[in-house]
Amino acid sequence: MIQSTELRRIDLFGVPVTALESYRYAEDRIVERIKSHIKTFCVAVNPEKIYRSQRDNELMRLINSADFHLCDGIGALVAAHLLSNQKIGRVTGVQLFLNLMARAEKEGLKVFLLGAKPEVNEGAFLKLKQKHPRLQIVGRQDGYFKDDSEVVRIINKSGADMLFVAMGSPCQEKWINRHRSQINAPYCMGVGGTFDVVSGFVKWAPKIFRATGTEWFYRLCTEPKRFKRQLVLPKFALMVLFAKLTGRRRKIQAHVQ
Ligand code: UDP
């Protein structure tokens, strides 16, 4: 049985990042835990979440209580390298989701898709079924609902093993955290705009941007309304630079746990 404590973690400003060697390694750990019925909450860590959690205690607490912390953003990877001299692999939420769909099909694991607009949720469902005909998508629900307990009931009734929540960050993580104890699915993960990409409503950043970790730049160019949100990125860069130059500990710190 694999416990998350066996995984190396790096602390970035109080936010843990799990050093996952590769996608395959991450998928294997996740599937093992699902099959062993170990409840697993997976959070994708990026500069935005690290920066916001410095001011949002609920977010900081819930990220720390999660089991897997993907190094989703290139900024987190660079910060880990600069501040603790640790090399960690980048595992993005979108790519891990896509890989997990293939694994779920192969291993017979049941999937629930929660979130996004109704047409996007349906589009993602249809595209996934087209690509993975034997994939068991046992339930889905758009992200614009009022009755949380009814949605939790539907998820549990579906018998899903994996719940993917695409309602934007940090709402999706807070939603999972609020209902985690009542949700039976062993694996829960927030996937942001993944359903928009999978359904084809939003174009995935071309390979060159993904390979260089500059998806944020692509998104900024294609969705300029995200500009305000992305102002966090230079602020995060300054935070890292300040920590590097001053070596200040506590809050502004990075060490291997
Ligand atoms: N969304 C949702 N319910 C809401 C607000 C947003 O389901 O109440 C969905 C929205 O339709 C979109 C996703 O959440 O599909 C947010 O995507 P975004 O790319 O902004 O995610 P982030 O960058 O925050 O991870």
Residues near ligand 1 (Cβ within 6 A): 115-117, 120, 143-144, 166-169, 192-193, 195-196
Residue ranges per structural domain of the chain: 9-199
| Residue in the block written with tokens 């995200």 | 226
50, 97 in Cβ contact below 8 A?
no
35, 57 in Cβ contact below 8 A?
no
The answer to pTM > 0.75 is yes
CATH code that applies to domain 9-199:
3.40.50.2300
Nearest to 216 by CA among 112, 64, 76: 76
Nearest to 92 by CA among 178, 197, 183, 1: 197
Q: Which two tokens mark 88?
A: 């960690």
pLDDT for 128: 98
77, 216 in Cβ contact below 8 A?
no
| Side-chain half-sphere CA neighbours of 81 within 13 A | 11
Residue from 70, 142, 196, 198 to probe ligand 1 pocket by mutation (most atoms less than 8 Å from CB): 196
pLDDT values of the chain reduced to their tens digit, one per residue, 257 residues: 444 446 788 999 999 998 888 899 999 999 999 999 999 999 999 999 999 999 999 999 999 999 999 999 888 989 988 888 877 889 999 999 999 999 999 999 999 999 999 999 999 999 999 999 999 999 999 999 999 999 999 999 999 999 999 999 999 999 999 999 999 999 999 999 999 999 999 998 899 988 888 888 888 888 888 888 888 889 999 999 999 888 764 444 444 44
- Which atom of ligand 1 is found nearest the CA of 169? 24
